[in-house]
Amino acid sequence: MRDRTVLHIEDNEYNRKIVRQLLSRTSYRLLEAADGEEGLAVAQRELPDLILMDVQLPKLSGLDATRLLRADPRTAKIPLVVVTSFALSGDDRRAIDAGASAYLAKPYSPRDLMALIHRFLPEN
């Protein structure tokens, strides 16, 4: 059984670095994308086991990318966590409406993110 793959779509290099660091000591395989279009392409090509999707992304917004992934039968079932800007602004509801499995408000605690990843994708 190959390692579980996590796709992290996030335009901020430092935030990608944190997740990279978090997963460096685990068995998860990490894929990264820096904008919505790239994220969509990687997801459809690699079919990861879990997608972490930022809301505000260049080229294609996280919510639009989520809708497109949900419309694609190959990626429709992949667990997808949307990282919202601000839970109270209504992003959370929009994320769920767009088809997200869960949402996480930014700034998030890396511990909470790890817990969420483990929930959707138990380590081998």
Partner 1 sequence: MALISSPLGAPVRAVARIRASVHVKLLAGFLLITLLFIAITAVSLRAVRETARQTDLLDQAQVRVGWSRQIEHALAMQMHFTSMALLAQSEDSVGLILRENNRFNDTLARLETAAPPEERALIQAIRVAQDDAMATVADIANAVRDRRMADAMTALRTRQEPIYQKIETLVGSLVAAEDTRMASLRRSIAAAQARSLRQMAGFAVAAVAVALIAGFVISWSFILPVREFHGFLSQVAEGRFGGSVAVPNRDEFGALAERMNWMSGELRRLDDEQRVAAATLRGLNDRLELASRAKSEFLANMSHELRTPLNAILGFTEIMLDELYGEVPPNLREPLVDIQTNGRHLLRLINDVLDLSKIEAGRLELGVDEYSVQEIVDVVHASLRSLAIEKGLAFSVWVAPDIPPARGDGRRITQCLMNLAGNALKFTRHGRVEIDVRLDEGWLTYRVSDTGIGIPKEEVENIFAEFRQVDTTITREYGGTGLGLSITKRLVEMHGGRIGVESELGRGSRFFFTVPLHADGGPA
Q: Applying CB under 8 A, which of residues 2, 27, 73, 111 lies at the interface with partner 1?
A: 111
Residue of 110, 115, 123, 124 interacting with partner 1 (CB under 8 A)? 110
- DSSP annotation of 4 reads P
Whole-angstrom Cα distance, residue 113 to residue 82? 11
Contacting residue, 47, 49, 56, 60, with partner 1 by CB under 8 A? 56
Which residue from 95, 110, 88, 123 is spatially nearest to 15, judged by alpha carbons? 110
CB atoms near residue 79 (< 10 Å):
18
Q: Which stretch binds partner 1 (CB under 8 A): 9-17, 30-38, 39-47, 65-73?
A: 9-17
Q: Does residue 61 interact with partner 1 by CB under 8 A?
A: no
